[in-house]
Amino acid sequence: MLWYHYVGGFFAGMFLGLSSPTTNVLWALLNLVLGYLLFRFSRISLNDGLSLIPFFIGIACISILGAKNFSNKDKL
């Protein structure tokens, strides 16, 4: 795999990561489409465990960012 396949895998993980409850339907659909396209472009494969690492790091990063961003929404 080339380096940009790993970068594509990272962003695929970000777009396909779990969304917060406050995310609206249109944003979720955009995430799904972009995540799918990046997933296909980055050539992530279950047979290549190394290609899954940036994918799951992307999921973790966007999940943590979303959790921090929305953790104080009820305190306003």
pLDDT tens-digit profile of 17-59? 765 666 667 777 888 888 888 888 888 888 888 888 888 888 8
Rg of the Cα atoms in the chain: 14
The whole-angstrom separation of Cα 6 and Cα 10 is 6
**Tokens 């955009």 belong to residue:** 30
pTM of the model: 0.57
Query: Taking a C-beta distance cutoff of 8 angstroms, is the pair 47, 70 a contact?
Result: no
C-alpha distances in Å from residue 75, one per residue of 22, 32, 65: 15, 30, 18
Using DSSP, state whether 35 is helix, strand or coil: helix
Query: Taking a C-beta distance cutoff of 8 angstroms, is the pair 1, 43 a contact?
Result: yes
